[in-house]
Structure 1
Amino acid sequence: MLKRLLKKAGRPAGPRRKPAATLTPRPVTLTELQQLIPIRNLPEEELRAFSLNQTTETYGAGSILFETGTSEDTVLYLLNGTVTMILGENQEYEVVAGSAKSRFPLSHGDAHKATAVAKSDVEVLRVSARVMHKNLVLDDDRLSRPENWDVPAWVRKTTLYQAFCQYLTDEETKLPMLPDIAVRLRRAIDRDDIGIAEAARIVQLDASVAARLIQVANSPLYLAARPVTNCLEAVNRLGLKATCNLVMSLCLKDLFQCRDPRLRKRMQRIWRDGLHLSALTYVLAKDNRWPDPEEALLAGLTCEIGAIPFLVFVSDFPRDHYTEEDLDRTLKAVLGPVGHYLLKTWGFADELTQVPLLAEAWHYDSGPELTLSDLVMLSKLHHCMEQGQRDQVPMISAIPAGQKLRDGRLSPEYSLKVLHEAKTEIQETLALLR
């Protein structure tokens, strides 16, 4: 199976590629494969078999590995040397072998948005672009069973993970429930026969949510000429769908609770990170003319909702049965499938339930149109760049979601410029959700 995905491609010919003076093709090693994202998630036996019969490719300084506008069904990983990625006039960056950035492919294998030029003699590994999607399961029936989750073997062997899976599949498991007002409002709107007045009456059942909704409607985000003074006016200004998404968002904070003080701090940190991510997603959605930015805001908030049932379970699990490393790795592994499972249980639409699964599936291509998952993924990437963690994520020009931005400007400098210009709007969004 792996041979079909990690395909042994011939060395491309052409005058734009030069022979390397200091490097020669060689077999790739298992250790090298285990460093590459997302290849490292494949079973070890498949990686080991591939490493036995696949050789690297070498090119000399000045070689053009691929050009802007061309398409391929393979991707390249840089194993030795330095490559300059040219995005456009006065826009370029370097990828150095051995750096965190080189763990990602130089592009996602579709139409290239950058030109890759070897700055030195380079050694690359060529694999099929289809490997980017292998083991990414979106089927609801399969995801309902933990044995089908894409979880590292190391995590599967831990007592903590095994006990949590048993807990999750137990018929008596009690998952967190949405507040009643959020459930009632969504059900009423799903009937398609609810009016503004009825929606306002439902919101008014929770005075604190109603007050915050009025605050949202009066915020600078909606550029209103005059302030609203009651819930009916707020719902009328926002619209039914936006009201529903905002009420959901306002209610989620109460779910991030845990009895264990140590785990409660972790839960609160996840909530704060989710707040910032949701604000970024909201701003990116508006910047890219997404029809319902409030839906994007909700998607950002629910991205790591899977932490709630897991940390609640851990709070009652004996401390001497797991280490902090077990906790960290297991949490990271279950966030996606458990978040999907929980949102599905709550009855959310399919596009929203897929967000936890795809939020860090950097090379997943959802199609030609921008999706909620794309927006959240791009927000996560922007957040890392904002915090000076560029080496922990691929370049925006190397992922499919980046190609769908409205203006197509993909440089890191432009991304940070967007964040700087939207700083006020991000802070206003955060203030409304805290």
Structure 2
Amino acid sequence: MDRKSIRPTSDELKRFIPLQALNAQQLDLLAGVAVIRSARPGEVLMELGSDDNHTFFLLQGSLVLDSADRQRLEIHDDDASARSPIALLRPRKYRVVAHTPVRYVLIDNAYLEDIARSHGATSGVEGYEVSGDLANESTAFEDQLSSLMLADLKQDRLQLPSLPEVALRIGRALEDGISDAHKIARIIQCDPVITAKLIKAANSAFYGGRNPVESCAAAVVRLGGDVTHKLVLSFALRELFQSDSKQLQKRMRELWKHSTQVAAICYVLAKKDTRFKAEQAMLAGLLHDIGIVAILNYARNFPDEAMHAQVIDQAVQSLRAEIGGMILNQWGFPADFVIAAVEAEAWMRDQGDVPDYCDLVIIAQLHSYIGDNRYQHLPSIDEVPAQSRLALGELTPHMSLKILEQAKDRIAHAESLLNL
């Protein structure tokens, strides 16, 4: 059989992210025009700088990608990156060579464009029509990431982060009415890292007594069940802010830094407005951007070369609130936390006279941006309705700076607590 007559099946095409937005009819049409090719080890699939009009997907085997600056990548068919097109950008940024015997799908981009135009395909296909300059490619990927993630979300295919087991077990124990410090400590001690952090927290400037505690049970007694639970949750969440992609890990570190800063400011503001529980305020601040963790994890499915800042920013802007609310609902958090995640950037939200934790998160975020370039694009603290509901005194930008200055030690302590 001539190799050009070997066609992929619809199921083979559905494994690739940009084609998952196609319906059955569109997949059948594409399967009829796509071809499967084979290559021997050492055979070149594409040259660096070429401007061909095809999209490549790896079915079997492994490839080596060499860039102009001598960076080398190796892609195996079971890697997450193999679910996306190989070396998509044109002119090509890599020379692609078969490392082992490989099979790959080759699609003429003209067919993708025809299907998108004639059959109403979503940007799942259109996102891969674009060739030429990097700006156009970035715009296409922005749409691609957001639209595919939304489609997976609506069809219940999106994998959301799971709450760490130790936090779940303590939550269940407290719900069951268990208050014995030794029983709670036994649960915590299943995680030695969190155990050490809890003892350090109990001896910190926030909670330390006259004599230091040396055991987990003593720490639980000093802190109490509710504070222990909130702190364990906070410590356990740190492990979710991780990625195996160097590029996305940088975003995770920035996100953790922002979240801990907002959490620390929430803690300090809650101490000034005693209608709030300080640890609950801190946790609400820490969780307000949890949706972005899921977005960054989803972005791992895309090739690193496509992960420009604007791609992530577009998906974050579109989906962070909805996904954050879903995660906290799935984890069983109270409505206060869900609302804070969903509406944390609804700067002008006006919910009457009674303050809530979302008000604290909004004010804490605006405080965190003072001195940052982003602040000039945001409303002034004295303009947002949240400030009038909180018992924090007159909050002008000048007074906010004064508050931050007066509380800088407490904010620093709270941040260090979350980074034990």
- The TM-score normalised by the length of structure 1 is 0.61
Shift in Å at residue 422 of structure 1?
Answer: 0.9
In structure 1, how many angstroms separate the alpha carbons of the residues matched to 2:291 and 2:195? 27
8 Å CA contact retained: 2:149, 2:158? no
Match of 2:394 among 409, 420, 428: 409
Equivalent residue for 1:340? 325
1:117-196 equivalences under 5 Å are 158-196=143-181
Equivalent residue for 2:315? 330
8 Å CA contact retained: 1:386, 1:416? no
Q: 1:382 to 1:155 in 2, by over 3 A?
A: farther
1:392-407 equivalences under 5 Å are 392-407=377-392
8 Å CA contact retained: 1:216, 1:432? yes
In structure 2, how many angstroms separate the alpha carbons of the residues matched to 1:162 and 1:323? 16
Equivalent residue for 2:219? 234
Equivalent residue for 1:297? 282
Q: How many residue pairs get matched? A: 281
1:308 and 2:293 correspond: yes
* CA deviation vs aligned residue, 1:148-204 (integer Å, no higher than 9, x gap): xxxxxx999922211111223444543221111000001111223443332222112
8 Å CA contact retained: 2:199, 2:215? yes
Shift in Å at residue 367 of structure 1?
Answer: 3.0
In structure 1, how many angstroms separate the alpha carbons of the residues matched to 2:175 and 2:351? 26
8 Å CA contact retained: 1:307, 1:331? yes
8 Å CA contact retained: 2:262, 2:285? yes
1:222 and 2:204 correspond: no
In structure 2, how many angstroms separate the alpha carbons of the residues matched to 1:279 and 1:391? 22
1:421 maps to amino acid: Q
**Is 404-413 or 337-346 further displaced after alignment?**
404-413
In structure 1, how many angstroms separate the alpha carbons of the residues matched to 2:178 and 2:152? 39
**What secondary structure does 1:363 align onto?**
coil
In structure 1, how many angstroms separate the alpha carbons of the residues matched to 2:141 and 2:343? 21
Q: 1:289 to 1:315 in 2, by over 3 A?
A: same
1:231 maps to amino acid: C
Match of 1:371 among 356, 362, 369: 356
1:360 maps to amino acid: E
* CA deviation vs aligned residue, 1:262-305 (integer Å, no higher than 9, x gap): 11111111111111111111111112124421111111111111
8 Å CA contact retained: 1:155, 1:330? no
1:211 maps to amino acid: A
In structure 2, how many angstroms separate the alpha carbons of the residues matched to 1:155 and 1:371? 39
* CA deviation vs aligned residue, 1:99-123 (integer Å, no higher than 9, x gap): xxxxxxxxxxxxxxxxxxxxxxxxx
**Is 242-251 or 349-358 further displaced after alignment?**
349-358
Query: RMSD between aligned alpha carbons?
Result: 2.2
Shift in Å at residue 260 of structure 1?
Answer: 1.7
Tell which has more relative contact order, 1 or 2 (C-alpha 8 A, sep 6+). 1
Equivalent residue for 2:249? 264
Equivalent residue for 1:210? 195
In structure 2, how many angstroms separate the alpha carbons of the residues matched to 1:188 and 1:289? 27
8 Å CA contact retained: 1:155, 1:329? no
Shift in Å at residue 375 of structure 1?
Answer: 0.7
Equivalent residue for 2:340? 355
Shift in Å at residue 327 of structure 1?
Answer: 2.5
1:314 maps to amino acid: A
1:62-77 equivalences under 5 Å are none
**What secondary structure does 2:370 align onto?**
helix
In structure 2, how many angstroms separate the alpha carbons of the residues matched to 1:375 and 1:257? 26
In structure 1, how many angstroms separate the alpha carbons of the residues matched to 2:362 and 2:156? 33
8 Å CA contact retained: 2:142, 2:315? no
In structure 1, how many angstroms separate the alpha carbons of the residues matched to 2:361 and 2:341? 9
Equivalent residue for 1:8? none
1:250 and 2:235 correspond: yes
1:276 and 2:255 correspond: no
Higher Cα Rg: structure 1 or 2?
Answer: 2
In structure 2, how many angstroms separate the alpha carbons of the residues matched to 1:353 and 1:293? 17
Q: 1:265 to 1:157 in 2, by over 3 A?
A: closer
* CA deviation vs aligned residue, 1:225-274 (integer Å, no higher than 9, x gap): 22222111211111111111110000111111112211111111111111
8 Å CA contact retained: 1:159, 1:321? no
8 Å CA contact retained: 1:384, 1:392? no
In structure 1, how many angstroms separate the alpha carbons of the residues matched to 2:161 and 2:183? 27
Shift in Å at residue 386 of structure 1?
Answer: 4.6
8 Å CA contact retained: 1:156, 1:162? no
* CA deviation vs aligned residue, 1:336-394 (integer Å, no higher than 9, x gap): 11111111111111111111111111111233222110111000011112547542221
In structure 1, how many angstroms separate the alpha carbons of the residues matched to 2:259 and 2:177? 30
8 Å CA contact retained: 1:306, 1:336? yes
**What secondary structure does 2:290 align onto?**
coil
Which runs of no fewer than 5 residues in structure 2 stay unpaired?
1-138
Q: 1:155 to 1:284 in 2, by over 3 A?
A: farther
Shift in Å at residue 322 of structure 1?
Answer: 7.2
In structure 1, how many angstroms separate the alpha carbons of the residues matched to 2:238 and 2:307? 28
In structure 1, how many angstroms separate the alpha carbons of the residues matched to 2:141 and 2:284? 28
Equivalent residue for 1:433? 418
- The TM-score normalised by the length of structure 2 is 0.63
